[in-house]
Structure 1
Amino acid sequence: MDLERLAVPLGEVLEERFGPGVRVRGLSRGGGGASRVTCGFEAVAADGAVAPLILRLGTPGASASIPLVREAALMRAGARAGVPGPEVLAADGADGPLGVEFVVMERIVGETIPRRILRDPALADVLPRLAARCGEILAAVQRVPAGDVPGLDGGDQLDAWQGILAALPEPYPALEFALRWLGRNRPPARPPVVVHGDFRNGNLIVGPDGVRAVLDWELAHLGDPLEDLGWLCVRAWRFGSEAPVGGFGGYDDLVSGYERAGGGPVDRDALRWWEMFGTARWGILCAVQAERHRSGAERSVELAALGRRVAENERDLLRMLPGA
Structure 2
Amino acid sequence: MTADLERALADRLGRLSGTEVVVSGLRKLTGGASRDTWEFEVTTPGGQPRRLVLRRDPPAEENPARMALEAAALREAARAGVPVPDVVDSSGEAPRTDIGGSYLIMGHVAGEAVPRRLFRDDRYRDARARMAYQMGRTLARIHTMAPERVPDLPRPEPLEDCFDKYVRQGRPVPTLDLAFRWLFDNRPRFAQRTVVHGDFRTGNLLVTPEGLAAVLDWELVHLGDPMEDLGWLCTPSWRFGSPEPAGGFGSREDLFRGYRDGGGREPDPATVRWWEVFGSLKWAVICRDQAARADSNPENRLELLAIGRRVAECEHDLLEAFDWPGSDVPDVEDDEPPEDLYGRPHLGELLGAVEDFVTEATRDADPVTRYRAKIAANVLSTAQREWRRGTSARTQHARALRDNGFTDEAELALAIRSGSVDVDKPEVAALIARGAAERLAVANPSYRTRLDGSAVQRNEPQRRARSTT
TM-score between both structures, scaled by the size of structure 1? 0.94
Q: Which amino acid aligns with 2:240?
A: F
1:18/1:208 CA distance change after superposition, 3 Å: farther
Separation in structure 1 between the aligned mates of residue 85 and residue 16 of structure 2, nearest angstrom: 15
1:281/1:235 CA distance change after superposition, 3 Å: same
Separation in structure 2 between the aligned mates of residue 148 and residue 127 of structure 1, nearest angstrom: 33
SS in 1 for 2:8: helix
Map of 2:219 onto structure 1: 218
Give the Å deviation of 1:8.
Answer: 2.3
Map of 2:160 onto structure 1: 159
Separation in structure 1 between the aligned mates of residue 270 and residue 100 of structure 2, nearest angstrom: 47
Separation in structure 2 between the aligned mates of residue 270 and residue 308 of structure 1, nearest angstrom: 29
Map of 1:29 onto structure 2: 28
Structure 1 window deviating more from structure 2 (61-70 vs 141-150): it is: 61-70
> For this pair of structures, how many residues does the alignment match?
321
1:66/1:215 CA distance change after superposition, 3 Å: farther
Give the Å deviation of 1:266.
Answer: 1.1
Counterparts in 2 of 1:296-315, with a 5 A limit?
296-299=295-298, 300-315=301-316
Native 8 Å contact 1:13 1:90 kept in 2: no
Q: Over aligned residue pairs, what C-alpha RMSD do you find? A: 1.9
Counterparts in 2 of 1:42-53, with a 5 A limit?
42-47=41-46, 49-53=48-52
Map of 2:101 onto structure 1: 100
Higher strand content, 1 or 2: 1
Give the Å deviation of 1:150.
Answer: 1.4
Map of 1:194 onto structure 2: 195
Structure 1 window deviating more from structure 2 (311-320 vs 20-29): it is: 20-29
1:64/1:190 CA distance change after superposition, 3 Å: farther
Q: Which amino acid aligns with 1:195?
A: V
Percent of aligned pairs with the same amino acid: 43
Separation in structure 2 between the aligned mates of residue 60 and residue 165 of structure 1, nearest angstrom: 25
Give the Å deviation of 1:75.
Answer: 0.7
SS in 1 for 2:296: coil
2:171 is the counterpart of 1:170: yes
Separation in structure 2 between the aligned mates of residue 136 and residue 187 of structure 1, nearest angstrom: 24
- Bigger radius of gyration among the two: 2
Q: Which consecutive aligned stretches of 4+ in structure 1 deviate over 3 angstroms post-superposition?
A: 16-19, 60-66
Native 8 Å contact 1:19 1:46 kept in 2: no
Map of 1:120 onto structure 2: 121
Deviations 1:86-136 (A, max 9, x none): 111111148433342111111111111011111110110121110011010
Native 8 Å contact 2:63 2:102 kept in 1: no
Structure 1 window deviating more from structure 2 (132-141 vs 97-106): it is: 97-106
Native 8 Å contact 2:62 2:102 kept in 1: no
Separation in structure 2 between the aligned mates of residue 315 and residue 148 of structure 1, nearest angstrom: 40
Native 8 Å contact 2:155 2:223 kept in 1: yes
Q: Which amino acid aligns with 1:50?
A: P
2:256 is the counterpart of 1:255: yes
Map of 1:85 onto structure 2: 84
1:288/1:39 CA distance change after superposition, 3 Å: same
Separation in structure 2 between the aligned mates of residue 275 and residue 65 of structure 1, nearest angstrom: 31
Native 8 Å contact 1:64 1:219 kept in 2: no
Give the Å deviation of 1:35.
Answer: 1.0
1:162/1:63 CA distance change after superposition, 3 Å: farther
Native 8 Å contact 1:162 1:179 kept in 2: yes
Q: Is there any run of 5+ residues in structure 2 with no aligned partner, and where? A: 323-461
Native 8 Å contact 2:231 2:275 kept in 1: yes
Separation in structure 1 between the aligned mates of residue 230 and residue 64 of structure 2, nearest angstrom: 20
Q: Which amino acid aligns with 1:71?
A: E
SS in 2 for 1:54: strand
Separation in structure 2 between the aligned mates of residue 96 and residue 17 of structure 1, nearest angstrom: 14
Q: Is there any run of 5+ residues in structure 1 with no aligned partner, and where? A: none
Native 8 Å contact 1:83 1:140 kept in 2: yes
SS in 1 for 2:293: helix
Give the Å deviation of 1:164.
Answer: 0.8
Higher helix content, 1 or 2: 2
1:135/1:107 CA distance change after superposition, 3 Å: same
Map of 1:316 onto structure 2: 317
Structure 1 window deviating more from structure 2 (42-51 vs 178-187): it is: 42-51
Map of 1:69 onto structure 2: 68
TM-score between both structures, scaled by the size of structure 2? 0.66
Native 8 Å contact 1:195 1:223 kept in 2: yes
Q: Which amino acid aligns with 2:190?
A: A
Map of 1:11 onto structure 2: 10
Q: Which amino acid aligns with 2:224?
A: G
2:55 is the counterpart of 1:59: no
1:117/1:234 CA distance change after superposition, 3 Å: same
Give the Å deviation of 1:29.
Answer: 1.6
Native 8 Å contact 2:38 2:54 kept in 1: yes
Deviations 1:246-283 (A, max 9, x none): 11100000011101111111111111101111111111
Map of 1:38 onto structure 2: 37
Give the Å deviation of 1:13.
Answer: 2.3
